[in-house]
Chains A and B, each alone.
Chain A
Amino acid sequence: MKKIWIIPMILLIMVPLGLIAEGSAWGEWPLQELSKMVGFVPQGMRNLSELWSSVPFRDYTLPFMKGFLGYIIAGIIGAGIAALIVGLAGFRRTERK
């Protein structure tokens, strides 16, 4: 079962490749980028886009480390927390076993 962790390990090494692609995904443009494209800022969007402005690691960048190393560490943080929460969901069950 330990071998299954090879998969996220390989992906972690590949993660910096994600930095090569430039630009935003379709429909995920920041406000300024969209307003340049269509010539105006949709009113409702202006009100909603700042709903959650205290994102700690926006766009998977760390405040203290830039570049591909920061991107990898952001990956470790995110993937690690996700794996931990999912692992905890099965916790009581595994205790009983």
Chain B
Amino acid sequence: MHIPDGYLSPQTCVVAAAVAAPFVVKAYKETHKNITRSRITGLAALTASSFLIQMINIPLPGGTTGHAVGSVLLAITFGVWPAVFAETIVLLIQALLFGDGGILSLGANILNMALIMPISGYAFYRLMMRGRPDGDVLPVKVAVFAGIAGYIGLNIAAFLAAVELGIQPYLFVSSDGTPLYCPYSLKVSIPAMSIPHMTWAGAAEALFTGFTLWFLYKNGIMEELK
């Protein structure tokens, strides 16, 4: 889901970056202002975890690969703003040091995986909790809800990436009609992205999110993070 440079037109990248930028600034300010000492340690540990889970590529049918992201876990554990900030840092390092995702397309990747994914996943988690605080629900149930939320968040992000890629051949073609950037249209990009994310990558995200949250409750870490 890390869109490299060249697959999106500069115009698409500028729009995505312009949408994402104010949220990233806000996320940094909120994290810097409000986070406590114990929570910042925990946030650092799960940020490292988010980086690492993305290195565990899963073979997918059709010869491609996919992986979990971990930003919904960050949002459920620490709130949306710290999650947006932390995942942005992960994506920045992946792009700069490891060539995973482009520089010009960084805004789009932040929009997909560091903004829409944690926010949508968190929203679904809250819906499933029906207004109850986390402590009032059995840890196992919280873990299952979190797993479902991770699955939904990942799939919304994958769909968004597919749309960003798939609109390119409609909007940007050279004078002889060949696509200038991503050559695959929505008809190809949406199933190609969504089917693997609805199955294997989604399952990985659900397991990672649910199991980690269950671990945090079982070991009293969630209490310390309050």
Query: Do A and B originate from a single complex?
Result: yes
Q: Judging by beta carbons under 8 Å apart, are B59 and A20 in contact?
A: yes
Q: Mark A73-92, 1 if CB is under 8 A from B, else 0.
A: 01101111111111101101
Known: A17-B56, A22-B59. A27 touches B7 (CB 8 A): yes
For B65, list chain A residues within 8 Å (CB): 21-25
Q: Judging by beta carbons under 8 Å apart, are A90 and B95 in contact?
A: no
Q: How far does the alpha carbon of A85 sit from the alpha carbon of B179 in the complex, in Å?
A: 39
B56 contact from A18, A28, A82, Cβ within 8 A: A18
Q: How far does the alpha carbon of A9 sit from the alpha carbon of B149 in the complex, in Å?
A: 24
Q: Judging by beta carbons under 8 Å apart, are A1 and B42 in contact?
A: yes
Chain A minimum-CB-distance residue to B10: A48
Q: Judging by beta carbons under 8 Å apart, are B52 and A8 in contact?
A: yes
Interface size on B, residues (CB 8 A): 83
Q: Judging by beta carbons under 8 Å apart, are B102 and A75 in contact?
A: no
Q: Judging by beta carbons under 8 Å apart, are A45 and B7 in contact?
A: yes
Q: Judging by beta carbons under 8 Å apart, are A21 and B59 in contact?
A: yes
For B212, list chain A residues within 8 Å (CB): 7
Q: Judging by beta carbons under 8 Å apart, are B28 and A89 in contact?
A: yes
B86 contact from A1, A34, A49, A86, Cβ within 8 A: A86
Q: Mark B71-91, 1 if CB is under 8 A from A, else 0.
A: 000000000000001100110
Interface SS, B side: helix
For A86, list chain B residues within 8 Å (CB): 40, 43-44, 47, 85-86, 89
Interface size on A, residues (CB 8 A): 63
B31 contact from A82, A90, A94, Cβ within 8 A: A90
B139 contacts partner chain A, Cβ-Cβ < 8 Å: no
Q: Judging by beta carbons under 8 Å apart, are A8 and B48 in contact?
A: yes
Among A1-36, those with CB < 8 Å from B are 1, 3-8, 11-12, 14-15, 17-28, 31, 34
On A, residues with C-beta under 8 Å from B are 1, 3-8, 11-12, 14-15, 17-28, 31, 34, 38, 40, 42-49, 51-52, 55-60, 71, 74-75, 77-87, 89-90, 92-94, 97
Q: A5-B45, A49-B5, A83-B47 are in contact. List 20 more A-B contacts (CB 8 A).
A: A1-B38, A4-B216, A25-B57, A25-B64, A25-B65, A27-B3, A27-B165, A38-B183, A42-B179, A42-B183, A51-B102, A51-B104, A52-B5, A55-B99, A56-B97, A71-B55, A81-B93, A82-B48, A82-B86, A82-B89
